[in-house]
A and B are shown apart, each in its own frame.
Chain A
Amino acid sequence: MNWELLQNYGPRMLQGLMVTLQLVVIAISLGALLAVPIALGRMSKNRLVGGLAFAYVYAVRGTPLLAQTFLVYYGAGQFRPELQAVGLWWLFRDAFFCCALTFTLNTAAYQAEIYRGAILAVPRGQSEAAMSLGLKPRAIFRMVVVPQAVLLALRPLGNEIILMIKGSSVAAIVTVFDLMGVTRLAYSRSFDFQVYLWAAVLYLALVEIIRRVWDLIERRLTRHVRQH
């Protein structure tokens, strides 16, 4: 343990951890809002809507997050006059915003597939039974399908959050001092590999927290199907 190094960079790494957390919370929550219409679009009978939603998910899932981040960050830099004309440059000038935007768009595609999969995985008999009780399609979706789909989506969603936590380290490449950014800085000053170990431990701790919270949520949501 190098105490001097810890003293110099420990507080900054915790600040970096907060930046990582902010990025992930923003991306996951805004991504969820965006994912719902995309998931519904994927299931739409309208071919145009379905096609658009499919194309979006296809393109985002088919390209690396790093490439998407570069595309948004340095791509926006190339369109500065146009962005200034519409008054959006002040947003795209900011590296944190560019990362939050990219990560949101990225996770929206993955979450859309998670939600679509979960909705389709609810047995058809459930809606048929509800229909026979005379419920309207809207009510069936809201009161029968969605509650069961939430349970099915829970685990994959936890996975997606974990992937996002780790994927957010890409932000360090475009000047954001997230946990990885601070770690790189500390390493470039000290040439001591320890800092990467600390970063790994902090990421691990974050993931462990998510894992435990998810266990709690799942126990709570499945209390009606538990045998004992």
Chain B
Amino acid sequence: MRLFKTIALTAATLVAVTLSAEAKDWSTIRIGTEGAFPPFNFIDSDKQIKGFDIDIAKAVCANLKATCTFVAQDWDGLIPALQASKFDAIFASMSITDERKQVVDFSRAYYNTPTAFIAAKGSGITDVSPAGLKGKTLGAQSSTIQSSYLEQTYPGFDVKLYPTQDEVNLDLASGRIDALLVDKLVGMEWLKKSDGACCEIVGEVPVGGGIGAAVRKQDTDLRDAISKAIEAIKADGTYDKINAEYFPFSIWAN
């Protein structure tokens, strides 16, 4: 019994020591992202993770003089993987919400974009209020602010939720859903492609309070460092340069 106690105590101390050591050293940061949300994060034909989120994360890492590695992870599993220490920060166009704030901490917002309803051309949808969309089937990616917004603002509607945005798009194109709700810039990117030719933006709604990097609640030092770095890259012009590569207008969140 005594031996067991000693072993347990030693093990606990070891764990505590390694944990506290790890919590202080941010010379390497592992970053989780989805990789299926162009143009913000996606995997290109060379299997490289790219996109606006990634470029911002790289600029933040450069500012912090940290080495960053990227991991692509299913959207639904991003927060659980962060909590399980598979990576240290999420740069995946994750909206800052109260629900998520209960389980993770967010950095300062690094961008803010509108949210849009997209429907088939000639659908006749002009009013995207609950009254205007009455009887329509709506779709969104699951575990997104868009999906919560649909459930809260459009109660009683037939709302379909999909694991990735690609699948929502597919089902709008095939007509299984009448309209989808998505980040406007992501929606516009899809509308430019041939399979997005079916559809158009029919309205915008106010959803969300900006996009931030998520970290574990105990890593407040990392959170503050990232927030500061975001301010810094905005101040030195790096942010605007990246912004200009993707969008003709600023998406900076004030």
Contacts and interface: CB of A to CB of B under 8 A. Distances in A.
Interface string A188-217: 111101000000000000000000000000
A78 B99 CA distance: 37
Interface in A149-197: 173, 175, 184-185, 187-191, 193
B231 interface: no
Contacts of B103: 191
Interface string B145-179: 00110000000000011110001001101111000
A9 to B, nearest CB: 13
Contacts of A95: 160, 176
B143 interface: yes
A219 interface: no
Given A175-B160, A184-B142, 6 more contacts: A74-B167, A89-B175, A175-B139, A185-B161, A191-B99, A191-B100
Say whether chain A's binding surface is mostly helix, strand, loop, or mixed: helix
Of listed B76, B170, B171, residue having the most chain A CB within 10 A: B171
B79 A191 contact: yes
Interface of B: 76, 79-80, 99-100, 102-103, 139, 142-143, 147-148, 160-163, 167, 170-171, 173-176
Contacts of B142: 184-185, 188
A86 to B, nearest CB: 16
A80 B76 contact: no
A175 B148 contact: no
A74 B79 contact: no
Interface of A: 74, 76-78, 80, 89, 93, 95, 173, 175, 184-185, 187-191, 193
B232 to A, nearest CB: 31
Contact of B170 (A74, A93, A188, A189): A74
Contacts of B163: 173
B175 A188 contact: no
30 contacts: A74-B167, A74-B170, A74-B174, A77-B170, A77-B171, A77-B173, A77-B175, A80-B174, A80-B175, A93-B176, A95-B160, A95-B176, A173-B163, A175-B161, A175-B162, A184-B76, A185-B161, A187-B76, A188-B142, A188-B143, A188-B147, A189-B99, A189-B148, A190-B99, A191-B79, A191-B99, A191-B100, A191-B102, A191-B103, A193-B80
Contacts of B171: 77, 175
Contacts of A191: 79-80, 99-100, 102-103
